Amino acid sequence: MSICKRISNCLTYTPILESAATAWSGRSGYLYQVIEEDFEDLNGTQIHLCGSPKMGDGTIDILKSIGLNVISRRFMSLNIIYYVITYRLVF
């Protein structure tokens, strides 16, 4: 069985453009808004981000402000930062 078939039930890929052109039919807006809209329970969830430091750090700051405990690791390659984030709900 290919790796794609094995992970298809537990992996969601959502490209999001902050400012989309009219030809774009996908999601647009800010990443934290899409996360809030799509997921009721983030407990035990891992989110992998790829983008600018400003996008990643901004998303982490906002998610912390709504009560999520964020544990993140950053990997830098060619001026793009890759984030691996684990969320735990804080009550």
pLDDT digits (tens, 9 = 90+) for 44-88: 666 666 677 777 788 778 777 766 667 666 666 555 555 555 544
Determine the pLDDT at residue 23. Answer: 83
Contact 49, 82 (CB under 8 A): yes
Summary mean pLDDT of the chain: 69
Distance CA(55)–CA(41), nearest Å, equals 22
pLDDT digits (tens, 9 = 90+) for 5-39: 666 666 667 778 877 777 888 888 877 777 778 77
Q: Report residue 21: phi and psi, to 5°.
A: -75, 165
Total-model pTM: 0.50
Residues in the chain: 91
Q: pLDDT above 70 covers what percent of the chain?
A: 46
pLDDT over 50 (residue 91): no
89 DSSP β-pair partners: 68
Instruction: Give domain limits for the chain.
Output: 3-89
Structure token digits, residue 58:
């901004």
